[in-house]
Amino acid sequence: MNPTKTYLDKCAEIFDIVRAQQDAINQVADWFAASILAGRVVHLFGCGHSRMLIEEMWPRYGSFPGYNPIVELSMTFHNLVVGANGQRQAMLLENVPGLATAILRNFYITDEDTSLVISTSGCSIVPIEVAEGFRAKGVRVVALVSKAHSAASATKHPDGTKLGDVADIVLDNGAPAGDAVVEIPGLEAPVAPTSTIGGVLLINSIKAEIAKRLTEAGSPPHVLAATCKVGAERAAEIFNAAYDEHGRRMAKLYEGLK
């Protein structure tokens, strides 16, 4: 067997799954661009390794402000594994009812906002309740899940709800049930997960579509750019402009709190 070829072949299949979702990607980009043009934000939320996709959207090279990345360290800080701040605690916390309400209580949310909630299984309580909290405030919810993995998994939500049940649009990262795709003879479980691959493809497709819409609307975004592309002085100007814009947008999420 050739594990590398197997993995890359599976990833090629995921490209096709993402490619087939272009209509949904365009609709999501329409919604997200409208929020950004209105001076509001797209709220981003995810537990566990979904944090990587939030950081893929913003901030990094090739991205721009307009987002509120909601990343709770207690559910996404994995490198210690055990002991204080370990994985056992993180996995418990992502299924604590009511935590989502406490998280969203920090922000002044309006129906001009939109949201992206990421969970490969779509079965953990906190992401589901975050989505429910957004919907209760009139905010459109886009869920990014693995449809196959979610269908094969049991939800922790007491009402039997899964993330896809409370979303306006569900995007599929294309990962199979179990996420990992390479079977090694003699190993009980497959290795090499794929959900991040599909998730990154979706995130950057949406990002590119939003950039096109903002530019065509006369509001080209401040795209973080490397010095090797625009020079050190211009890169510093863009970074400062982008971070200042982010700060102004975030200020709106606090000034309306009562």
Residue ranges of domains in the chain, CATH in brackets: 3-255 (3.40.50.10490)
Residue 174: CB atoms within 10 A of its CB come to 27
Computed over every residue of the chain, the mean pLDDT equals: 97
* pLDDT on residue 258: 76
Q: What is the pLDDT of residues 149-194, one digit of tens each?
A: 999 999 999 999 999 999 999 999 999 999 999 999 999 999 999 9
Among the ranges given (50-64, 74-88, 229-243), the one the predictor scored with the smallest mean pLDDT: 74-88
Q: Model confidence at 2, in pLDDT bands (50, 70, 90)?
A: very high
On the question of pLDDT at 7 being above 80, the answer is yes
Reply yes or no on whether the pLDDT at 204 is more than 90.
Answer: yes
Report the pLDDT value the prediction gives residue 1, as an integer from 0 to 100. 82
232-241 pLDDT per residue, tens: 999 999 999 9
Is 73's pLDDT higher than 80?
Answer: yes
Q: Are 108 and 137 in contact (CB under 8 A)?
A: no
Higher pLDDT, 1 or 240: 240
Q: Is residue 197 scored above 80 in pLDDT?
A: yes
Q: Residues 178-188: pLDDT tens digits?
A: 999 999 999 99
The model's pLDDT over 92-142, given as tens digits with 9 standing for 90+, comes to: 999 999 999 999 999 999 999 999 999 999 999 999 999 999 999 999 999
